[in-house]
Amino acid sequence: MSSNIHSYCFLRARKSLFSLLRSQYQSPHANYSTNSDRRRVVVTGLGVVSPVGCDVETAWRTILSGQSKVGRLAGETYDKLPCRVAATINTDQIDLEKCFSKTELKTMARATAFALIAAKESLSMAAWTPPIDDEEACQRTGVAIGMGMVDLMDICETNEALKKGYNRVSPFFVPRILPNMPAGQLSIRYGFRGPNHAVSTACATGAHAVGDAFRFIQHGDADVMVCGGAEACISPLGIAGFCRLRALSTAFNDEPTASSRPFDERRDGFVMGEGSAIFVLEELEHAKRRGAQIYGEILGYGLSGDASHLTAPREDGTGALLAMKRAIADAGKTIADIGYVNAHATSTPIGDAIEARSIRTLFGEHTKSVAVSSTKGAHGHLLGAAGNLEALFVVMACRHGVLPPTVNLHNVTDDMAGLHYVANSSEPWEGNRRRIALKNSFGFGGTNACLCIGEYSE
């Protein structure tokens, strides 16, 4: 009896202690039960390193111009592969040796370097670089940056070095290939001590990173989040691996700018790209108090799983459909509120058709009122940095009232008809209602993400 009483008293005391700790340390900004009570999350900074431009204004102008920046891959090794095109970033655009010291470059992968450069632009745009000794600001600022794949050549070259001797292996080898290092390097560089989060969900990585950051702010874990994705894995081995999956375009090696053609009847696979796009997301009242410029608003976030196939989307499109439905519901909106869908559409025969059907199914009688495009025709598929780069263009579209085009879209097949595709040339976003869009991102393994993004409105 005595032991039972002691156990009962101990459990009651522990429960009381946990309740006290919760009440004492629970954030005053905790998530609420209704959409109207939740903390609003706005975009106050944007930064980009991409094949279409290495600053926001240049990238946006290029996208609106309808130009493709896909080029031919040079080199004897590439000449032996079925796919010989990609959207790369050359030294004329960004010279990493001028941006970082040799010592710094030894510690980071190319993707990490891209992320740091994009983050610098984004933080500058947001005017948010609190000094490291500003404890509150640094503790309330977090980082969420993902990477889909590590640099396979880094691994191959290190393996060759090991064959020559143990001491030939760089002590920075492991940090260079860890997917969380863009987030880690950025956190260290700026002293941000809020959530330090990394996502690796294949081609949905960038969208998941932005969505997770959105929720961190909503739930009161941070006031500011620096978020996005980075990717730099174009190499002979990377190209060969995707070729063996029959995922890449091989029909336009002699006409690279025509190779990435989302939704077009002649599409035959995606084109690899590289780069990074970084957002500064901020709680609305925090942004207002410091007089920050607001570029857009993240309204909702939806996730789903196909539970179907390693690389192909679910044939009935329910994975994409669920993600879109959940993003709209999370935003507290209806399908009638959505005016634009920035599609994942990578230029693959199966994936584009399934996504088109999913969009038609979701919007039903409202389908003709919704514009659809994929900017991958211009910059290729950035894998883990695709969703965030394209979300950046969605923010710009909502802000400026201009819809970005799908490059190389000339004819659609019957199974994809019925949608209002923005083809080859930009279009004005017409209508008097608030501009609200969906951004889709889907990845191998059946992982899906959708962001609901809107024009900022008081």
**pLDDT value of residue 313:** 85
Q: Comparing C-alpha atoms, which of 269, 242, 209 is closest to residue 70?
A: 269
Q: Which amino acid type is present at position 42?
A: V
pLDDT recorded at residue 37: 76
Alpha-carbon torsion 243, 74, 231, 149, what sign?
A: positive
* Segment 62-119, tens digit of pLDDT: 999 999 999 999 999 999 999 999 999 998 999 999 999 999 999 999 999 999 999 9
User: Do residues 343 and 262 touch, judged by C-beta distance below 8 A?
Assistant: yes
Cα 24 to Cα 19: distance, rounded to the nearest angstrom: 9
How many angstroms separate the CA atoms of 359 and 419, rounded? Answer: 8
pLDDT digits 0-9 by tens, 49-69: 999 999 999 999 999 999 999
* Beta carbons of 59 and 245 less than 8 angstroms apart: no
pTM value? Answer: 0.91
* 227 flagged as catalytic: no
Complete domains list, the chain, with CATH: 42-454 (3.40.47.10)
- pLDDT for residue 1 is more than 90: no
Confidence at residue 34, expressed as pLDDT on a 0 to 100 scale: 53
Residue 458: per-residue pLDDT: 85
Contact by Cβ (8 Å): 65, 149:
no
pLDDT, averaged across the chain: 92
Percent of the chain with pLDDT over 90: 87
| Mean pLDDT score, 354-367 | 96
Whole-angstrom distance, CA of residue 336 vs CA of residue 61? 29
**pLDDT confidence of residue 13:** 41
Mean pLDDT of 222-240: 97
Evaluate the CA torsion angle 306, 308, 310, 316 in order and state its sign.
negative
pLDDT in tens, 125-143: 999 999 888 999 999 999 9
* In 32-151, alpha helices (H): 56-65, 76-79, 96-99, 102-106, 110-126, 135-139
Tokens of 46: 């944007």
H/E run at residue 298: strand 296-305
Q: What pLDDT, on the 0 to 100 scale, is given for residue 377?
A: 98
pLDDT at position 245 over 90: yes
Question: Token pair for residue 91?
Answer: 């030294």
pLDDT in tens, 177-188: 999 999 999 999
| Tokens 């991102």 found at | 441
Confidence check: pLDDT of 310 > 70: yes
Q: Which one of 203, 227, 233, 398 is the catalytic residue?
A: 203
- Alpha-carbon span 57 to 43, nearest angstrom: 16
The SS3 call for residue 43 is: strand
C-alpha to C-alpha distances, 333 to 36, 427, 431, 436, nearest whole angstrom? 12, 24, 17, 9
Query: Above 90 in pLDDT, residue 156?
Result: yes
pLDDT at 36 (0 to 100): 60
Q: Is the pLDDT of residue 31 over 90?
A: no
